[in-house]
Chain A
Amino acid sequence: MSKTEYVSPEGLRLDGRRPMEMRQLRAEIGTVAKANGSAVFEMGNTKVIAAVYGPREFSCWFVVDDECNSVFQVQNRSQQLNDQALAVNGDITCHPPDHGGVHFDSSNASFSGTRSACINAATLALADAGIPMRDIVTSCSAGYLNSTPLLDLNYIEDSAGGPDVTVGILPKLDKVTLLQMEAKLPVDIFENVMGLAVEGCKAVANYIKEMLWKDEDDALLKQALALSMNIPGSDSSVGDAEMSEATNDQELAMGMSCYLFVVLTYLEFLCHMDGLHNCGSHVGLKFYYLAKSYQSSITKELNMLALQMFMLNGSIDQSEESDVSKVLGDQSFMPSIISSELTQM
Chain B
Amino acid sequence: MVGLSVGEKHFIQGGISQDLRLDCRKRLTYRPIYVETGIIPQAHGSARVRLGATDVIASVKAELGKPNALQPDKGKIAIFVDCSPTAAPMFEGRGGEELSTELSVALERCILGGKSGAGAGIDPTSLVVVEGKVCWDLYVDGLVISSDGNLLDALAAAIKAALSNTGIPKVDVAAEMTGDEQPEVNISDEEFLQFDTSGIPVIVTLTKVGKQYIVDATSEEESQMTSAVSVSVNRKGHLINKLDSEIAAAEASEEE
Contact = CB atoms under 8 A, between A and B. Distances in A.
A71 B60 CA distance: 8
A65 B85 contact: yes
Interface stretch (B15-23, B38-46, B205-213, B232-240): B38-46
A131 interface: no
Contacts of B84: 49, 65, 100, 102
Interface residues of B, number: 31
Select the residue from A70, A107, A109 with max chain B CB neighbours within 10 A: A70
A34 B88 contact: yes
Contacts of B195: none
A51 B53 CA distance: 14
A255 B139 CA distance: 43
A104 B43 CA distance: 11
Nearest to A44: B41
Contacts of A35: 86, 146
B40 A70 contact: no
Interface in A8-51: 31-35, 38, 45, 47, 49-51
Nearest to B62: A70
B53 A72 contact: no
A65 B60 CA distance: 20
B40 A63 contact: no
Nearest to A125: B86
Contacts of A108: 41-42
Contacts of A104: 40, 57, 59, 143
A108 to B, nearest CB: 5
A104 to B, nearest CB: 6
Interface string B34-54: 000000111100100000110
A71 B59 contact: yes
A76 to B, nearest CB: 11
B139 A102 contact: no
A237 B40 CA distance: 45
A101 interface: yes
Q: Classify chain A's interface size.
A: 20 to 34
Interface string A61-90: 101010101111000000000000000000
B92 A67 contact: no
A100 B88 CA distance: 8
A106 interface: yes
B42 A106 contact: yes
A242 to B, nearest CB: 25
A61 B86 CA distance: 13
A300 interface: no
A34 B148 contact: yes
B43 A102 contact: no
A53 B88 contact: yes
B14 to A, nearest CB: 25
A50 B43 CA distance: 21
Nearest to A102: B84
Given A33-B148, A45-B42, A102-B145, A50 B86 contact: yes
Interface of A: 31-35, 38, 45, 47, 49-51, 53, 56, 61, 63, 65, 67, 69-72, 98, 100-102, 104, 106-109
